[in-house]
Amino acid sequence: MDKKKAIDESEPGPAPSHAVDRFGFIKPEQSNRPDGIPKGRSIHEREREERRIRKWRKMIGIGGSDWKHYVRRNPYVVKRRIRKGIPDCLRGLVWQLISGSRDLLLMNPGVYETLVIYETSASELEIIRDISRTFPTHVFFQQRHGLGQRSLYNILKAYSVYDRDVGYVQGMGFLAGLLLLYMSEEDAFWLLVALLKGAVHAPMEGLYQGIKVVFQVGLALLSFCHDDLVKLPFEKLLHSLRNFPEEATDPDVLLPLAFSFKVSSHLEEFQNEYHKQHEGTSEISSSKRLQPLISKKDEQIRN
């Protein structure tokens, strides 16, 4: 969750009294970094990014019109390009296409508006309490009752009504907030739905990574920092696990390493073992597919 809306450096900053980083987070005061000059991207990197954007634009077509066609014909090209990184300026659109949330939006005209305006949720107070505690140092969410905070509230309330079994769960705000940095409120709502409940038919069916990739990236981070981590006493571990060094989070290094881990069969074994342990105590269907569905996880845990 560390990709925030890129603020174009040539634009005047939204809050002149604060310096923000390129994702929109207010920088801690006087960060006395030894390399005081921000690392500019090399010409080579910028050219590569521009090439990528051109390829992606061609692939998705205007407003996503060519996307489905392209995925059906060249699924592995799409997969490879996703792994290389979706250009930041296209992420908002591409996430909606990949997840199928764009279809949810088109199939449910007016639904979001109804949820926001007419429905009440049992979680309203809980949500309100967390609004100012979600990305409190980000320029978009910082202002009390500002656009960011209002949109965030609307989405979370709407979701808690739309999916009453799950309702509101702390942490959802950070997910919804991130989406809001890339797209409109309504688009972000349906993407949240697609992420948490699953879309009706995921257009990326065959390429779906599910929770596998979470483990792969986790393992890559751990193995990258292995030598330092194993030296640490228990109490220092938590800090280090939350603050990985910058070189460890460079996607061009991290992701190839992540995808080198083969975890599918292991995860399946663990899942089977888990289901065996919880047989009889749980009423959920023992779906074999590994899905990052919060609602399902929640049911399993509750039982």
Q: Which of 169, 207, 222, 225 is close enough to bind another protein by CB under 8 A?
A: 169
Radius of gyration for the alpha carbons in the chain, expressed in angstroms and rounded: 21
Segment lying near another protein (by CB under 8 A), choices 77-85, 124-132, 179-187, 201-209: 124-132
Tally of CB atoms within 10 A around 297? 13
Please name the residues in contact with 10: beta carbons below 8 A apart, sequence gap of 6 or more. Answer: none
Cβ closest to another protein, residue 53 vs residue 241: 241
Q: Which of 41, 133, 145, 164 is close enough to bind another protein by CB under 8 A?
A: 133
Q: Does 148 bind another protein (CB under 8 A)?
A: no
Q: Any idea what DSSP says for residue 177? A: H
* Nearest residue to 168 (alpha-carbon basis) of 196, 133, 145: 196
Q: Does 235 bind another protein (CB under 8 A)?
A: yes
Q: Which of 130, 185, 186, 187 is close enough to bind another protein by CB under 8 A?
A: 130
Q: What are phi and psi of 301, to 5 degrees?
A: -70, -40
Q: Rounded CA gap, 4 and 239, in Å?
A: 22
Q: Rounded CA gap, 215 and 209, in Å?
A: 11
Contacts within 8 Å (CB) and 24+ apart, 275-280:
278/303
Pattern 40-79, another protein, x by CB under 8 A:
----------------------------------------
Q: Which residues, numbered 173-212, are part of the site for another protein (CB under 8 A)? A: 173-174
Q: Rounded CA gap, 232 and 238, in Å?
A: 10
Q: Which of 7, 52, 137, 259 is close enough to bind another protein by CB under 8 A?
A: 137
Q: Does 132 bind another protein (CB under 8 A)?
A: yes
**Cβ at position 165, least distance to another protein in Å:** 12
Give residues in contact with another protein (CB under 8 A).
126, 129-130, 132-137, 169-171, 173-174, 235, 238, 298, 301-302
